[in-house]
A and B are shown apart, each in its own frame.
Chain A
Amino acid sequence: MSSAVPLVGVLLVVVCCAIEGFAQVFYKKGARGRRRFVVYGTSLFALEAVLYTVALRYLDLSTAYPLGSLSFVSVTLLSQWLLRERVTPTRWVGILLILAGAALVVMHA
């Protein structure tokens, strides 16, 4: 297997994380009763599902799944920006630890 193959898988998961950030924000809005945002969010999740399925062709699940924790960063940033949620420094420390953990897991790939 070429060394570029896991890189393709990693890049696909990173794109999935960016998509998930917006999908989760749409779901949060949908949870408040705005059904059309549920449709928007589900559409993005469907796109993410296709890309993630392809990514699993190149990566072990025990690598791909923790790498998906990058979505915690995108979701937190977008929650702060679009939903005006209060994100404290302690929460950011937690997010960064999660991110560091994901990076360590990817080293295995």
Chain B
Amino acid sequence: MSRPLPMRVLLGLAVALLLDTLVQLSWKWTASGLLDGGAHDIIMAVLHRPYPLVVIALMILQMINWLKLLAHVDLSFAQPITALSYISVCLLSVLLFAEDLGRYQIIGIGCIIVGVWFVSRTEHRSDDPVAAMPRELEP
């Protein structure tokens, strides 16, 4: 059975979920506007509109938070937890982009959430010392 997660790991996961959601929504918003034209139109749009820069800034924040988090928890434990952002992304996609959310999608999202619950119940190494990593993996 799993042991309680350290507070900084929980906080890092919460920030990761928030940033995942923001990145996905802003990315879709950007892609929708950019990909209607040719390469020249895309370059001009990137230079004159702030949306791509917002996406890049959010992705940098996401990367920094994720690197800090991975220093304290197993990758195969932390990454599946981020699937919780599927709820926020799908619901906000319906609200903001008028996308359809069908019956299968709702059931699928339910499966994903149950899967995340299973993963969260498993043993994990958090805040384990760097020295615990296998020596043969050293570069």
* Interface, chain A (partner B; CB < 8 A): 24-25, 27-34, 36-38, 42, 45, 49, 52-54, 56-57, 60-63, 65-66, 69, 71-72, 75-76, 79-80, 82-88, 90-91, 93-108
Contacts and interface: CB of A to CB of B under 8 A. Distances in A.
Interface SS majority for chain B: helix
A42 B63 contact: yes
A72 B79 contact: yes
A32 B130 contact: yes
Given A53-B31, A91-B118, A108-B105, A84 B80 contact: no
A91 B66 CA distance: 21
Shortest Cβ-Cβ A-B pairs, 3 listed? A94-B118, A97-B115, A104-B108
Contacts of B76: 75-76, 79-80, 83, 85, 87, 91
B109 to A, nearest CB: 6
Contacts of A42: 63
15 contacts: A24-B79, A31-B69, A32-B71, A57-B31, A60-B99, A62-B94, A75-B79, A79-B74, A83-B76, A84-B133, A85-B76, A85-B125, A87-B76, A101-B111, A104-B111
B52 to A, nearest CB: 10
Nearest to B90: A62
A84 B125 CA distance: 12
Interface of B: 24-25, 27-28, 30-32, 34-35, 59, 63, 66-71, 74-77, 79-80, 83, 86, 89-90, 93-94, 97, 99-102, 104-105, 107-123, 125, 130, 133-134, 137, 139
Contacts of A27: 63, 66-67, 70, 75
B112 A65 contact: no
With most chain A CB atoms within 10 A of its CB, the pick from B68, B79, B94 is B79
Given A60-B93, A60-B99, A88-B123, A33 B108 contact: no
A64 to B, nearest CB: 8
Contact of B75 (A38, A49, A75): A75
